[in-house]
Amino acid sequence: MTQETLAVRSEEGGYIRLVLGGEIDMANADRLGNRMHTAIGNEVRGVVVDLTDVTYIDSAGVRVLVMLASRLNQLRVDLQLIVPPGSLTRRVVEITGLEALASDSS
Amino acid sequence: MSMSMSMSTSGDLLSDEERLRRFASLTDRALAYLSTEDLLVELLDRLCEMLTVDAAVVLLMDESRSYLVTTVARGMEDAVRQDVRVPVGLGFAGRIATDMNAAILDDLHQEMVPDPLMRDRGFVSLLGVPLVSQGTVMGVLQLGSLEPRQFTQDDVQLLQSAGDRMAPALEARSSNEQRSAAVMLQRSLVPPRLPPVAGLSMAARYVPGEGGAVGGDWYDVFTLPTGHVGLAVGDVVGHGLWAAVVMGRLRSALRAYALSSLDPGEVLTQLDAKLRHFEPSQMATLLYGVLDPKLERIQLSSAGHLPAILAAPGGRSVDLDVPPDLPLGVSFGDPRRTTTVDIAADGLLCLYTDGLVERRGEHLDQGIARLRSTLHPGGDPEDACGSIMAALVGREEPRDDIALLVVKRELVQEHNALVVPAEPSALARIRVALRRWLAATDASDAAADDLLVAVCEAAANSVEHAYGPAGGTIEVSLELGDGEVTATVRDNGSWRPARGCGRGRGMLLMERCSDEVHIDRGTAGTEVKLYRRLWGDGDP
CB B263 within 8 A of CB B229: no
Segment B180-196 shows an average pLDDT of: 81
Q: What angle do CA B289, B290, B294 make, to 5 degrees?
A: 140
Q: Which of B5-9, B260-264, B535-539 is most confident?
A: B260-264
- What is the pLDDT at residue B418? 87
pLDDT value of residue A106: 46
Amino acid at B180: S
Burial class (CB in 10 A: 0-12, 13-18, 19+), A80: middle
Within 418-437 of B, beta carbons closer than 8 Å to A belong to 424-425, 427-428, 431
DSSP-assigned letter for residue B248: H
Instruction: Read off the pLDDT of each residue in A37-50 and give the average, rounded to a whole number.
Output: 93
Interface test with B, best of A1, A54, A58 (most B CBs within 10 A): A58
Question: Which residue from A26, A66, A91 is facing B449, i.e. has the nearest CB?
Answer: A91
Is B452's CB within 8 Å of A88's CB? yes
pLDDT at B498 over 70: no
Rounded CA separation B259/B224 (Å): 7
Tell me the per-residue pLDDT of B116-162, one tens digit each, with 9 for 90 and over.
788 778 898 999 999 998 888 999 999 999 999 899 999 999 999 99
Q: What are the tens digits of pLDDT across the range B310-324?
A: 998 888 899 999 999
**Chain A residues inside the 8 Å CB shell of B428:** 1-3, 23, 25, 27
* Strands, E assignment, B353-414: 402-409
Q: Which of B465 and B253 is assigned the larger pLDDT?
A: B253
- B225 contact A CB<8A: yes
Angle, helices B445-465 vs A59-74, to 10°: value is: 80
Which pLDDT value is given to residue B537?
Answer: 59
The reported pLDDT for the residue numbered B510 is: 92
Spatial neighbors of B306 by CB under 8 A, at least 6 apart, are B285, B287, B352, B353, B354, B357, B364, B368
CA distance linking residue B468 with residue B176, whole number of Å: 54
Label residue B438 by pLDDT band (50, 70, 90).
confident
pLDDT of residue B361 exceeding 70, the answer is: yes
* Mean pLDDT, rounded, for B108-119: 75
- What pLDDT does residue B276 have? 92
Separation between Cα atoms, residue B452 and residue B224, nearest integer Å = 20
CB B426 within 8 A of CB B455: no
Task: Report the C-alpha gap between B281 and B212 in whole angstroms.
Answer: 25
Euclidean distance between CA atoms B149 and B78, whole angstroms: 24
Provide, as residue numbers in chain A, all residues whose Cβ is less than 8 Å from the Cβ of B435: none
**What is the rounded CA–CA span in Å between residue B257 and residue B263?**
10
The predicted model gives B263-287 an average pLDDT of 94
Burial of B491 (0-12, 13-18, 19+ CB in 10 A): buried
Could you give the CA distance from residue B93 to residue B472 in angstroms, rounded to a whole number? 65
**What is the C-alpha separation between B454 and B461, in angstroms, rounded?**
11
Task: Kindly state the helix (H) or strand (E) to which residue B425 belongs, with its residue range.
Answer: none
Tens digits of residue pLDDT in A48-88:
999 999 999 999 999 999 999 999 988 889 999 999 999 99
Q: Which pTM was predicted?
A: 0.70
Higher pLDDT pick, A104 / B10: A104
In this prediction, residue B40 carries a pLDDT of 87
3-state secondary structure of B136: strand
Asked if residues B320 and B309 have their Cβ atoms less than 8 Å apart, the reply is yes
Instruction: Please state, for a pLDDT cut of 90, what percent of chain B lies above it.
Output: 48
Asked whether residue A23 carries a pLDDT value surpassing 90, the answer given is yes
Q: Is B389 on the interface with A (CB under 8 A)?
A: no
Average pLDDT over chain B, rounded to an integer: 87
The answer to whether residue A56 neighbours chain B at the CB level (below 8 Å) is yes
pLDDT at B78: 87
Contact between B278 and B252 under an 8 Å Cβ cutoff? The reply is no
Q: Is residue B298 within 8 Å of residue B289, measured between CB atoms?
A: yes
- The number of C-alpha atoms within 13 Å of B100 and in the hemisphere containing its C-beta is 7
- Per-residue model confidence (pLDDT) at position A33: 94
Do B175 and B371 form a contact (C-beta atoms < 8 A)? no
- The Cα–Cα gap between A61 and B43 comes to 74
Residue B19: the pLDDT is 74
What average pLDDT score do residues B257-267 get?
Answer: 96
Residues B517 and B532: their CA atoms lie apart, in Å, by 9
Interchain CB distance below 8 Å, B452 and A2: no
Quote the ipTM score.
Answer: 0.86
Q: Which residues are B221's β-sheet partners?
A: B231
Q: Reply yes or no on whether the pLDDT at A89 is more than 70.
A: yes
pLDDT in the model for residue B7: 39
Please give the helix or strand (H or E) that residue B496 lies within, else none: none
Interface touch A23/B428, C-beta < 8 Å: yes
Structure confidence at residue B12 (pLDDT)? 57
The CA–CA distances, whole Å, from B45 to B21, B189, B232, B476 equal 16, 41, 52, 69
Q: What is the pLDDT of residue B238?
A: 84
Do B82 and B72 form a contact (C-beta atoms < 8 A)? no
Q: Check CB contact of A1 with chain B, cutoff 8 Å.
A: yes
**B324 vs B321: CA distance, rounded Å:** 9
- B8: confidence class by pLDDT, cuts 50, 70, 90: very low
Helices A59-74 and B504-512 pack at an angle, to 10 degrees, of: 130
Cβ–Cβ under 8 Å, residues B371 and B357: yes
Q: Which residues of A touch B463 (CB under 8 A)?
A: 26
In Å, how far is A14's CA from the nearest CA of chain B? 31
Instruction: Tell me: pLDDT of B527 over 80.
Output: yes
Q: What is the pLDDT of residue B539?
A: 52
Q: What is the band of B501 on the pLDDT scale with cuts at 50, 70, 90? A: low
Q: Rank B226-230, B258-262, B329-333 by mean pLDDT and report only the highest.
A: B258-262
For B234, phi and psi rounded to 5 degrees?
-140, 170
